[in-house]
Amino acid sequence: MNAGCEYFCARQPAINVKIILFDSLKEWSNPVDSMIVSPDSNNRIAIKTSVEIKRIVVIPEDDSVDGFAEEYIIHKNGVMTGSLNLKKTENNEFKIRSVYVRFNSSDIQLQDIPYLHDLLDYMRKNNDIRLSIEGYSDSHGTDRANMAISIKRAEKVRDYLVKMGIESTRLTTKGHGFVHNKNEGTSQQLRRVDFILSE
């Protein structure tokens, strides 16, 4: 990377973490670089960035650990003044909710990783529970394309849960495409994956 500033991130668990670097503050911007970093003896992480970097996201390298994500904003003066801790909240009752995706994408968004780990924990504790994973699209594109992306979104979430140890026999996927009677929300709210629990 180009010569730039060095930043020390907040304390992390003693595991390798993936550092993702962005040159934009836009939520859906693409990363410009990433690296795997190991904490030092004080359990701290030091990274060097180019002067163009505006945002740093830290996630665990190993999917087998509990999900967490931390985001750091770098201001124009080069000072990193704040962080957003997206770690899951302990001792809260689990509530099912949708996860949302970007336009023309099936990728799981960073902010939903902690929620998916809450869902994983719930399913591990309730072995009789089955999960229907149902994808949707917005109104842009043809019916065929919208159906295909909605299926892909559901399958991407299913594959993540299976990778994390949930038996595939407990999971089903469906794609609904663009559902005309659910168009009261914004396009972002339509681009989603819903979950239905059953026994």
- Report pLDDT digits (tens) over 91-122: 446 788 899 898 888 888 877 887 888 899 89
pLDDT tens string 142-183: 999 999 999 999 999 999 999 888 999 999 999 999 986 654
Amino acid 189: pLDDT: 76
- The tokens describing 172, both together, are 């089903």
Phi, psi of 28, deg, nearest 5: -105, 20
- CATH fold for the domain made of 99-198: 60s Ribosomal Protein L30; Chain: A; (3.30.1330)
Per-residue burial over 173-185, b = 16 or more CB atoms within 10 Å of its CB, e = otherwise = bebbbbeeeeeee
Q: Indicate the pTM of the whole model.
A: 0.58
pLDDT tens figures, 61-83: 765 555 566 777 777 655 554 44
CA distance 33 to 54: 12
- List the domain boundaries for the chain: 6-85, 99-198
Q: What is the DSSP letter of 184?
A: S
